Amino acid sequence: MKKTVILTIFFSAALFSFAQDFELPNRNLYIEGSAEVSSHRTYFMDNFKMEASALGFNVVDNKADAGYTFKFDSQRYEGDFIVLITLTLNDGDVEIVNFGWPYSNLDEMYEYNQFVFFKAAVLIPGVNEDELRTMMAQERIDPRWRNKWVYLRVTFDYPIAFNILKKSDELIGGSGAYLGKFDKPDNIQHIDHKILPMPGATVGIEIQPLNFLRLEVNFQAHLGNTEDNMFLNLAAGAALKVPLKFFKSFDIVPYGAFLYPLTISPDYVKFPQFFVGGGVEVDVKMGKSGALVFDFNYMLPFPLTDTVVMKNPYTTAPNPPEIHFNRFDLGIKVGYKVGLFNRRSRK
């Protein structure tokens, strides 16, 4: 849609006559609005309040406490939308400025909300224009980094596998491997939990079909120790993510995850076929289309009753030949993602 601002600015003579003697606090601002589409009203109300606070205004709930009223009205316009802005001096109900800003969808307005608010607020007497311009330049962040159709990401991973020993009647005292007979062992070896770090990496592709939903598929490769040498654990994964876009420079992204191991260490006699879990990802804007990624996750075998069974590694206490553990993984990932193709979907 052609980005043409439809402006009709009216300066009242009363503005200048009140400017010197006006006693109500100019920084107290009342914001009200309406919209043909209810989600648009919520969007503009939240964003204009945020922009007002960021530029040093005190947004009040009572019109009588404010020197000025900032009013918006979102309407359908030539197949798209237009938001009409009015700034009114409350003392005498004098309209100071009135203009309209056309837009195609709410995603598009992320880039212009602050500028639209600024055009009205700069006309309030006593407000320092240079100060507002400086604050606007500092606060304004291009939002397109978080509104892409596709993201490619690479992370360095540090998951830790917690194999918690499962007490068994086959172990002496519930935790002892042995040599010889169970009731008269020649040697006993105490077995402890096995906590195994598995550094590695993940590469993934993420799509964002909706503003509040992302889907990712990925491939993971992690190193693991066996009794003889290092082993490469390979797995395919998927995640359903819900980005929370409350902040300008970073997103908080809770997600649910699924993992399918492709290789199994020779240390294991039995290993879960699937893992499920979730985590929280934090995306911090870096560059026009990318973000630093910090990921904290927790994974469990599925079904949850599944256990892992390891070979008994103790030659001096070879009984029983198999040892059972309960399993869960904790991990952290740090990396970078880059977005492709701007989303222009309607809301």
Q: How confident is the model at residue 248 (pLDDT cuts 50, 70, 90)?
A: confident
In this model, does residue 26 exceed pLDDT 90?
Answer: no
At the top level of CATH, which class does the domain 148-342 belong to? mainly beta
- Residue with more model confidence, 256 or 269: 256
For residues 135-151, average pLDDT: 72
State the span(s) of the chain assigned CATH 2.40.160.20. Answer: 148-342
11 pLDDT band (50/70/90 cuts)?
very low
pTM over 0.75: no
Question: How confident is the model over 251-270, as a mean pLDDT?
Answer: 92
Residue range 133-139: mean pLDDT, rounded: 57
CATH code, 6-138: 3.40.50
- Tens digit of each residue's pLDDT (9 = 90 or more) over 289-313: 899 999 999 999 998 887 899 888 8
What per-residue confidence (pLDDT) applies to 184?
A: 84
Tell me: pLDDT of 153 over 90.
yes
Question: pLDDT confidence of 140, banded at 50, 70, 90?
Answer: low
Distance CA 267, CA 327 (A): 14
Question: Which pLDDT belongs to residue 241?
Answer: 96
